[in-house]
Amino acid sequence: MSRLRDLRTDPLVRAVLLLDVSWRRAAAAVLAGAGALGSAVALAAVSAWLIARASKMPPAMELSIAAVAVRTFGITRGLLRYLERLVSHDLALRGMTTLRTELYSRLAAGRTEALVGVRRGDLLTRVGGDVDRVGDAVVRGLLPAAVAAVVGAGSIVLLAAFLPAAAAWLALCLVVASVLAPWLATRAAARLEREQAQARAEIGALTLVLLDGAGELAVSGRAAAVHEALARAEADLARATDRAARPAAAATAAGPLSTGLAVLGALVLGIHATTVGTLTPVELAVVVLTPLAAFEAATLLPGAGVQLLRSRQAATRILELLDAAAGPDRHDRGPGPGDGGRARTAPRPAAAAALGAAPGPVPVPVLEARGLSCGWPGGPALLRGVDLHLEPGRSVVLVGPSGVGKTTLLLTLAGLLPPLAGQVLLDGQPLVDLPAGRRSASIAMTGEDAHVFDTTVLENLRVARGGVDETTARAALEQVGLGAWLARLPAGLGTVLGTDAAQVSGGERRRLLVARALLAPAPLLLLDEPTEHLDRQGATLLDDLVGLRAPLVRDRGLLVVTHRLAGVEAADEVLLLAPDGRISARGEHRAMLSREDSAAYRAAWQHERQEVR
Amino acid sequence: MKPLDPRLLRRARAARHYVLLTATTGVLTAALVVAQALLLAHALAPVVTREADWPDVAGTVGWLAAVVVARTAVTAVQERYAHRAATRTVAELRAQVLTHAAALGPRWLAQGRTATVATLATRGLDDLEPYLVRYLPQLLLAATVTPAALAVVLGLDWIAAVTIALTVPLVPLFMALVGWLTQGYAQRRLATMQRLGDQVLDLLTGLPTLRALGREHGPAARVRALGDAHRRATMGTLRVAFLSGMVLELLTTLAVALVAVGVGFRLVYGHLDLTTALAVIVLAPEVYLPLRQVGAHFHASADGVAAAEQAFTILETPAPARGRLAAPDLRSATVRLEGVCVTAPDRDLLAPAGLDLALAPGTVTALAGPNGVGKSTAAAVLLGLLAPTAGRVRVAGLDLRELDPDSWWAQITWVPQRPVLTPGTVAELVDDGRQVHPHARDRASRLTGLDAVVARLGAGWGTTVGQGGYGLSLGERQRLALTRALLDPAPLVVLDEPTAHLDHEGETVVLRAVEHLRGQGRTVLLVAHRPTLLACADHVVEVRASALEGADAAPDGPPS
């Protein structure tokens, strides 16, 4: 019973089950494979009989059935093998798509920090190579093992019909080739393969450093140091490969060795049996020559064992990511993990409603923070004792030095991170208890490092709302001051922005992100540093936003996080964060300039004014 | 597709040694295969015809045992060294591709190529392993075992040899035919695979953004659609690729069957003796086995060869020529940008357009102007990372293109907008391989505010920071890069929007840093738009962009 449970928690088994492979297709693949290799064994056996019988010079008619059989097996081998390969690859590719989609869906529904905590190079490895390796477990591991078992059993039964002792010897040699050799190779390689995976991840990460920072590394002369680190990782990889090659060589050599031993054994046993008369000379030829063909399936198995091992490590990495995503953020994962449903690709009703132009009859949402402390889960609290009130028609600006945790606060208010202490309430209910659909229908957030997708300008805007038409998109870009920029683009809204928008300047990128945020259907907007990288016009844009004057922000609730004060005058409330993570002053801008208890705010304001002058 | 690309041997030393080893084991294997077949026939036939008994054939069986042992040993040696050679070959090619991609410059990489080259340098080139470990040895066995076994069969029974000899040429013929059909497919498959990788990765990288907008669920369908497209493309390739395998198996197995039947009937009529017949039917499959294996590993090798070809394409893209002159000493030489224009990629715009600028030693110059006019691009031109479309950079009268980049870069320290984090401890990253006194490091870090960041980190200066900046925000990375710049004695300092991710307190940090650099007599080029920063410069140069048609001279911006 506990064995069974072990099997269920084995990462490879879990990952292979996530491939959701059809049993019918799998059975078809095994049948075709066994038929192909069985044809080869039958071909060897029947030709041996044919030749030995022929040497006794019987009438030619006596051989005709055997001759037809030999030719038939010559044809079925190739045909069935072709079928097997097609069916098994199709099976694995289907499974890999299912697994990738599953991976995406679970990460989409899971905890934010699981995704942010993974290095980009690692992510590439897991979504790419690791998923492929789980697919390979089926094609190169499980199916060949099943085929070898069927063909091996068939060969032993065939030999037992003539000479049980030779069959027993063949069984022993087959066990060496198809159980002992793969087992040894796999066991010995296990530790080394782990080292290799580490080196590979390191190589992937360093590759990205070398490419992302090519210019900087060249100028600073640090490229050589990174190349050295890469060479060290490559050397680690080579060492791990070298150590793994030894058992691999032993396992491969076990192929010709066990085949040779099987033939030698059959020869010795067969000659003895012929001498004492328990085996006819013609049967002797069959007993000796059949083993030559019986090992073809078995020689693939050491490779299959190592494949399963590699696949298991890949599966472990994938499941680590999945398990990290499936944390205590238990609410509304949609049709997510645990329910085994398959309808993950369909947009959920709540989200679908959110995609429409109007928020619908949702009551006017009110977002409140009470005594809120926030920070990364398991880390220290960055901000403490934050009280906040946001509703449509109200704008709040949060000002503070960099690194104080403003982004963390926005993530918490958007419900993407759990509060460390205190509460975030949406319409009086704790945000963490609400379904994600309800949350995103009311609140939209745009982070400082928000992603610009590798697609057109229009599609990048549609990320916020699917139905945005070209006119609306143009208007939104105009409102954030990108009208002239848009006019200069060669294909207008259809211009493809490069990977992570490297071709867009810092300020243009920032404005684009603001335009996208404004198009989001949610009535409450949380914006992180919307005017960073912008020159003096940044203050104008900020003023338009917090004054709720721009058409797309009218009647909405807006929370803006910034470290510059220019343009905040129109806000209903300004909160000044002290470097220790507490609110040191709050109130309306004008009132704060004159009030006794907001000296810090006045000082910051005067500092910026001097600068402009 | 060439089965063995000479460029691979030329570019990878490990591959050359490996081919030699494999050829040797191939010849040995051929001899052993023939010996095994002959010995088996000689041991078996006399017993079947009841002419001999165990004592008569015991010696032959002993020799057969020795051959089995020898074959085992040769197989083990080949396998043992194949993996090592493959790893080293891939490592050699990977290092070359990455070095050359960097030499091709940031603009070449930025055009959507970073992810493509990354996929090629990691997964793509790893596909060479099955090519080297599986395919290549079989190819060489096909060149040794196949002719050797065929020659022996010819000596034994010419009719069987003719049957085999007629089918063997069909094998490479069909392979070439099907291979020719597959080539385009394999290349397209690699392209599809990379596109899929890029797009799925783009979606996953953007997942936090999608979640923040409540839009994370829609793209799951897109991930599935991309996967289905990938499967259909792949299965299309495989149907054709596996066809070659099937044709091979069909031809070879059928030929073996025909040989067996033919030999059988000739035995009946007494044209052959049993020993010869047995030797022939044991050898016949051995003639085809390497060819069959070549076919079996054909598909795996096609990916590797396609990846290698992509790598060679990158390696053969000519990099901009490197100058050879040693750069003049920047402590005394003035750097001038003269009428520098750069065409913005995919846009009908020159940014910057006609930029003139002089950096005299010891002065602080600021580049000003609205977003997108090409301030950072101008800095890249000055750094020699980007060739201007028109105009030039002169250093003490010499064109920058003539100068040896290393001698140029050795005199410059650059803080880009988004500094990359190389692996290492904070202290290692700041010191940058120089001997830095802890006092100097502390002083510089107090100036940039990195001291506060270090104080927050678990192991202080000894904290290891990772790739992509996890653990350090962009602002913190900028502080780190700024500290490094302060400690670097290079005479020219280029600061690209050093306050972009810093608050106003951070801005005073930059002001202090600039003053510090000025005090040391260093030349500073500052890309900035905040008035306070512009005010601290000796010269402010307004950068302008212009539409491509009217790209004539735009004069030097007036100092504001």
Confidence tier at A88 by pLDDT (50, 70, 90): very high
Confidence tier at B523 by pLDDT (50, 70, 90): very high
What is the spatial distance between Cα A586 and Cα A577, in angstroms, rounded to a whole number? 9
Residue whose C-alpha is closest to residue A421's, from A373, A470, A368, A483 = A373
Q: Which 8-state DSSP code applies to residue A245?
A: H
- The pLDDT value recorded for residue A170 is 95
The chain B residue lying nearest A525, using CA atoms, is B213
What is the spatial distance between Cα A409 and Cα A415, in angstroms, rounded to a whole number? 10
- The pLDDT value recorded for residue B69 is 96
Q: Which 8-state DSSP code applies to residue A312?
A: H
In this structure, are strands B523-527 and B492-496 parallel, antiparallel, or unpaired?
parallel
The chain B residue lying nearest A51, using CA atoms, is B264
With a CB-CB cutoff of 8 Å, which residues 286-315 of chain A face chain B?
288-289, 292
The chain A residue lying nearest B196, using CA atoms, is A128
Residues of chain B with C-beta less than 8 angstroms from the C-beta of A255: 75
- The pLDDT value recorded for residue A498 is 65
Mean pLDDT, rounded, for A579-595: 83
From the list A51, A351, A532, the residue facing B217 with the nearest CB is: A351
- The pLDDT value recorded for residue A353 is 36
Q: How far A33 CA sits from the closest chain B CA (Å)?
A: 13
Distances (CA, A) of B222 to A105, A342, B154, B219: 11, 15, 60, 5
A313 sits in which H/E element: helix A301-325
SS3 of residue B76 by DSSP: helix
Place of tokens 């390689």: A189
The answer to whether A64 contacts chain B (CB < 8 Å) is no
- The pLDDT value recorded for residue A544 is 84
Mean pLDDT, rounded, for B64-86: 92
Mean pLDDT, rounded, for A407-429: 87
What is the spatial distance between Cα B32 and Cα B384, in angstroms, rounded to a whole number? 61
The answer to whether A342 contacts chain B (CB < 8 Å) is no
What is the spatial distance between Cα A490 and Cα A429, in angstroms, rounded to a whole number? 48
Contact criterion met (CB below 8 Å) for B120 and B310: yes
From the list B111, B238, B467, the residue facing A119 with the nearest CB is: B467
What is the spatial distance between Cα A505 and Cα B417, in angstroms, rounded to a whole number? 10
CA end-to-end span of chain A = 79
- The pLDDT value recorded for residue B35 is 96
Place of tokens 């300039």: A593
Residues of chain A with C-beta less than 8 angstroms from the C-beta of B123: 128-129
* pLDDT score of A352 more than 80: no
Residues of chain B with C-beta less than 8 angstroms from the C-beta of A490: 346-348
Mean pLDDT, rounded, for A189-197: 72
What is the spatial distance between Cα B307 and Cα B311, in angstroms, rounded to a whole number? 6
A124 to B197: CB separation less than 8 angstroms, yes or no: yes
Sheet containing B364-368, strands listed edge to edge, beginning at the edge strand earlier in sequence: B412-415, B492-496, B523-527, B364-368, B539-542
The chain A residue lying nearest B488, using CA atoms, is A220
- The pLDDT value recorded for residue B318 is 87
DSSP symbols for A254-297: HHHHHHHHHHHHHHHHHHHHHHHTSS-HHHHHHHHHHHHHHTHH
* pLDDT score of A329 more than 50: no
- The pLDDT value recorded for residue B501 is 55
The answer to whether A609 contacts chain B (CB < 8 Å) is no
Residues of chain A with C-beta less than 8 angstroms from the C-beta of B261: 47, 50, 67, 70-71
CA end-to-end span of chain B = 63
B94 to A532: CB separation less than 8 angstroms, yes or no: no
Q: Kindly report the number of other CB atoms within 10 A of residue B166's CB atom.
A: 11
B475 to A507: CB separation less than 8 angstroms, yes or no: no
Q: How far B104 CA sits from the closest chain A CA (Å)?
A: 10
Q: Kindly report the number of other CB atoms within 10 A of residue A294's CB atom.
A: 27
A217 to B260: CB separation less than 8 angstroms, yes or no: no
Q: Which 8-state DSSP code applies to residue B325?
A: B
B540 sits in which H/E element: strand B539-542
Residues of chain B with C-beta less than 8 angstroms from the C-beta of A239: none
The string of pLDDT tens digits covering residues A68-85 is 999 999 899 989 999 999
Higher-confidence residue of B370 and A500: namely B370
The pTM of the full predicted model, rounded to 2 decimals, is 0.67
- The pLDDT value recorded for residue A209 is 84
Contact criterion met (CB below 8 Å) for B299 and B168: no
Residue whose C-alpha is closest to residue B499's, from A140, A529, A429 = A529
What is the spatial distance between Cα B121 and Cα B90, in angstroms, rounded to a whole number? 9
B68 to A256: CB separation less than 8 angstroms, yes or no: yes
The answer to whether A52 contacts chain B (CB < 8 Å) is yes
Residue B183: CA count within 13 A, CB half-sphere? 10
Distances (CA, A) of A155 to A166, A295, A319, B283, B451: 11, 10, 40, 21, 74
| B352 prior amide bond cis, ω within 30 | yes
Mutate to test the interface with A, among B25, B36, B209 (most CBs of A within 10 A): B209
The answer to whether A379 contacts chain B (CB < 8 Å) is no
Mean pLDDT of all residues belonging to chain A: 83
The string of pLDDT tens digits covering residues A255-264 is 889 999 999 9
| Domains detected in chain B | 6-315 (1.20.1560.10), 335-553 (3.40.50.300)
Contact criterion met (CB below 8 Å) for A302 and A140: no
A439 to B245: CB separation less than 8 angstroms, yes or no: no
Confidence tier at A288 by pLDDT (50, 70, 90): very high
From the list A272, A402, A441, the residue facing B475 with the nearest CB is: A402
* pLDDT score of A330 more than 50: no
Q: Does the domain made of A2-112+119-324 have the CATH classification 3.40.50.10860?
A: no
Q: At the topology level of CATH, where does A364-451+503-612 sit?
A: Rossmann fold (3.40.50)
Confidence tier at B184 by pLDDT (50, 70, 90): low
- Tokens representing residue B24 in the block: 């040797």
E-strand ranges in B446-508 read: 464-465, 492-496
A115 to B274: CB separation less than 8 angstroms, yes or no: no
Residues of chain B with C-beta less than 8 angstroms from the C-beta of A267: 40, 43-44, 61, 64
- The pLDDT value recorded for residue A116 is 63
- The pLDDT value recorded for residue B305 is 86
With a CB-CB cutoff of 8 Å, which residues 185-214 of chain A face chain B?
200, 203-214
Contact criterion met (CB below 8 Å) for B391 and B339: yes
* pLDDT score of A356 more than 50: no
Q: Respond yes or no on whether ipTM tops 0.95.
A: no
- The pLDDT value recorded for residue A613 is 46
The answer to whether A558 contacts chain B (CB < 8 Å) is no
Residues recorded for chain A: 613
With a CB-CB cutoff of 8 Å, which residues 386-445 of chain A face chain B?
400-403, 411, 414, 416, 436-437, 439-441, 443-445
B214 to A75: CB separation less than 8 angstroms, yes or no: no
What is the spatial distance between Cα A352 and Cα B507, in angstroms, rounded to a whole number? 44
What is the spatial distance between Cα A381 and Cα A420, in angstroms, rounded to a whole number? 7
- Tokens representing residue A266 in the block: 């059959």
- The pLDDT value recorded for residue A151 is 95
The string of pLDDT tens digits covering residues A127-156 is 777 888 899 899 989 999 999 999 999 999
Q: How far B293 CA sits from the closest chain A CA (Å)?
A: 12
Q: How far B525 CA sits from the closest chain A CA (Å)?
A: 15
Contact criterion met (CB below 8 Å) for A549 and A355: no
Q: How far A211 CA sits from the closest chain B CA (Å)?
A: 6
Task: Give buried/exposed letters for B496-516 (b at 16+ CB in 10 A, else e).
Answer: bbbbbbbbbebbebbbbbbee
What is the spatial distance between Cα A470 and Cα A452, in angstroms, rounded to a whole number? 18
A128 to B80: CB separation less than 8 angstroms, yes or no: no
**Domain residue limits, chain A:** 2-112+119-324, 364-451+503-612
The string of pLDDT tens digits covering residues A11-50 is 888 888 888 888 999 999 999 999 999 999 999 999 999 9
Task: Give buried/exposed letters for B191-221 (b at 16+ CB in 10 A, else e).
Answer: ebbbbbbbbbbbbbbbbbbbbbbbbbbbbbb
What is the spatial distance between Cα B418 and Cα A530, in angstroms, rounded to a whole number? 18
* CB burial of residue B438 (10 Å; 0-12, 13-18, 19+): exposed
**H helical segments located in A361-499:** 406-413, 436-442, 457-462, 470-479, 483-488
Higher-confidence residue of B555 and B44: namely B44
A485 to B372: CB separation less than 8 angstroms, yes or no: yes
The answer to whether A581 contacts chain B (CB < 8 Å) is no
Amino acid found at A349: P
Mutate to test the interface with A, among B18, B61, B87 (most CBs of A within 10 A): B87
In this structure, are strands A421-426 and A429-430 parallel, antiparallel, or unpaired?
antiparallel
Furthest-apart CA atoms within chain B: distance in Å: 113
Residue whose C-alpha is closest to residue B247's, from B302, B305, B182, B189 = B182
- The pLDDT value recorded for residue A509 is 86
Mean pLDDT, rounded, for A146-168: 95
SS3 of residue A391 by DSSP: coil
- Tokens representing residue B21 in the block: 């080893």
A445 sits in which H/E element: strand A443-446
- The pLDDT value recorded for residue B503 is 59
Contact criterion met (CB below 8 Å) for B125 and B94: yes
The chain A residue lying nearest B129, using CA atoms, is A241
A127 to B201: CB separation less than 8 angstroms, yes or no: yes
Mutate to test the interface with A, among B84, B134, B204 (most CBs of A within 10 A): B204
Residues of chain A with C-beta less than 8 angstroms from the C-beta of B71: 256, 260
DSSP symbols for B117-143: HHHIIIIIHHTHHHIIIIIHHHHHHHH
The chain A residue lying nearest B418, using CA atoms, is A213
- Tokens representing residue B112 in the block: 């959507």
Distances (CA, A) of A528 to A561, B12, B210: 5, 50, 15
Residues of chain A with C-beta less than 8 angstroms from the C-beta of B69: 257, 260
Residues recorded for chain B: 560
Residue whose C-alpha is closest to residue A81's, from A144, A174, A155 = A144
Residue whose C-alpha is closest to residue A192's, from A230, A229, A242 = A242
B64 to A120: CB separation less than 8 angstroms, yes or no: no
- The pLDDT value recorded for residue B336 is 93
* pLDDT score of B188 more than 80: no
B213 to A463: CB separation less than 8 angstroms, yes or no: yes
Confidence tier at A339 by pLDDT (50, 70, 90): very low
Residues of chain B with C-beta less than 8 angstroms from the C-beta of A117: 470
Q: Kindly report the number of other CB atoms within 10 A of residue A286's CB atom.
A: 28
- The pLDDT value recorded for residue A324 is 79
What is the spatial distance between Cα A189 and Cα A192, in angstroms, rounded to a whole number? 5
HEC string of A167-217 equals HHHHHHHHHHHHHHHHHHHHHHHHHHHHHHHHHHHHHHHHHHHHHHCHHHH
